[in-house]
Amino acid sequence: MPELPEVETIRRQLAPHLEGRTLLGVQILDPRWTRPDSSEEVAAGLRGRRVVHVGRYGKYLVWELSGERFLLTHLRMTGSLLFDAPVEPLHTRVRFELDAGHRLIYVDPRRFGTGHLVAGPEERDAYLHQRLGIEPLTPEFTAEHLHALTRGRRAPIKAFVLDQRRIAGVGNIYADEALFRAGIHPLRPAGRLNKADWERVRAGIEEALGAGIAAKGASIDDFRHVDGARGSFQDRFMVHQRAGEPCPRCATTIRKLVVGGRGTYVCERCQPRPRPRARRGGARRVVSGGEQL
Ligand SMILES: [Zn+2]
């Protein structure tokens, strides 16, 4: 699934092609894309509008259009946007006809992607803030903020990092890469991290996302650039999908665990497992969670 760096890569590639261009015609071939809104109404609402700016919030692309309309698109599992594709691919869901003969195609084999048209910045913000927490790579993304969000929470740090309503845009790949960089075990209860731990997590997230953007995203599945090319971050993973290989820092074998139902990769030397709290009246040790695969 595309995560923040993949969507940011698409945004950076699309913006120069789209900004200033007019949507002469929009054909929404799959009504699921706009559900619960009518695809005919959305297509009619887009027609004739100029693309003012292509932005991003979390994994959403935010298209600012003339007349203060905003198109909010999410690629979900298998969506991709192709600019001036020589051949129209199978599973084309939406066609955007632009001026000067250009064309943007939205392709999505599994059809989970969405497009919503809203009027005005208030509606835009209401839509996004209902679904998304704090955006990394902004000045508001601080250790203090993260620490405050998790006080008293027992959920593992990885589950917290993956929760889009807490932190926008980080998925399974970048959560593993960020926690490795931070030296924090994914099973550590989020509420027990101290300020210094949070500073490492914050820095780890920013570094992992930055490395992903620099490599133009990871193509381990359907993710493609707007010209159909693949990203290269999958060749630079430090731990993600590297079970059985040596840790790039200490050469300990990387292990795969399951945390919150997600395959999770960890170096348990660089990321020490949380010590179970000593039980009252006994020295019983229980290692909780994290079944081994
Ligand atoms: Zn290591």
Instruction: Please give the distance, rounded to the nearest whole angstrom, from the Cα atom of residue 269 to the centre of ligand 1.
Output: 5
- Residue 16 known to be catalytic: no
Instruction: Please give the distance, rounded to the nearest whole angstrom, from the Cα atom of residue 290 to the centre of ligand 1.
Output: 18
Q: What is the pLDDT of residues 255-277, one digit of tens each?
A: 999 998 999 999 999 999 998 77
- Residue 19 known to be catalytic: no
Instruction: Please give the distance, rounded to the nearest whole angstrom, from the Cα atom of residue 22 to the centre of ligand 1.
Output: 51
Q: What is the pLDDT of residues 191-202, one digit of tens each?
A: 999 999 999 999
And the tokens for 240? Answer: 């993600």
Computed over every residue of the chain, the mean pLDDT equals 94
Instruction: Please give the distance, rounded to the nearest whole angstrom, from the Cα atom of residue 254 to the centre of ligand 1.
Output: 8
Q: Taking a C-beta distance cutoff of 8 angstroms, is the pair 81, 105 a contact?
A: yes
- Residue 3 known to be catalytic: yes
Q: How confident is the model at residue 290 (pLDDT cuts 50, 70, 90)?
A: very low
Q: How confident is the model at residue 278 (pLDDT cuts 50, 70, 90)?
A: low
Catalytic residue among 11, 49, 56, 59: 59
**Whole-model pTM above 0.85?**
yes
Residues 6+ apart with CB under 8 A from 59: 2, 3, 4, 7, 74, 75, 164, 168, 169, 171
